[in-house]
Amino acid sequence: MGGRDKLLVIQKKLFETDITKGNNRFSIPLRQIVRTDFLTEEEKEKFRAGQEIRVQFIDPMLESGRVVLVQWDMPKDTGNTSSTYALRSTWNKVRESNGLKIDDVVQLWSFRVATKKLAMMLLLLIQTKDGFVLRLCWLRKQRMNSQCQALVFKV
């Protein structure tokens, strides 16, 4: 797939709302975003117009697919608006196939492919006493089992 302009969007613990099947979404609260420049001005304009963005997506098992990135604007009693991004559409499939659960720590990365098209990758981190372990898995399709490797790094 290739890619450039890699940016960490968010690192967060998964909450019940991220895991609940009926919600079918991964929330990305704006106030928790590490790099707010992961979207282009054109993409931000699409959100302002109420549109969604389909993005290429790589899950923690290194399976590739598509998800929909949306922006939700929620009016507050104060008259202000609170906004959040969310990954939708195939989120339940991603959650189930990767065994994601409440309190798992994940990182969402953005990058650009081909003609600067937005793509994203979700990484699952496992906390140890020495830092975090990044779990990378790949499927052996012919045998229907997975192989996993752990990379140790400090965050």
pLDDT digits (tens, 9 = 90+) for 2-51: 557 889 999 999 999 999 999 999 999 999 999 989 999 999 999 999 99
DSSP secondary structure of 34-100? S-GGGS-HHHHHHHHTT--EEEEEE-TT--EEEEEEEEEEEE-TTS-EEEEEEEESSHHHHHHHTT-
Domains located in the chain, CATH noted: 4-121 (2.40.330.10)
Q: How far apart are CA 94 and CA 5, in angstroms?
A: 24
Cα-based distances in Å from 96 to 31, 53, 56, 60, 89: 27, 23, 18, 11, 13
Report residue 63 as tokens. Answer: 């399976």
Pairing of strands 105-113, 131-140: unpaired
Are the beta carbons of 64 and 127 closer than 8 angstroms? Answer: no
Residue 131 is predicted with a pLDDT of 64
- Tell me what pLDDT residue 133 has: 61
pLDDT of 83 above 70: yes
Residue 153 CB: number of other CB atoms within 10 A? 10
* pTM of the predicted protein model: 0.83
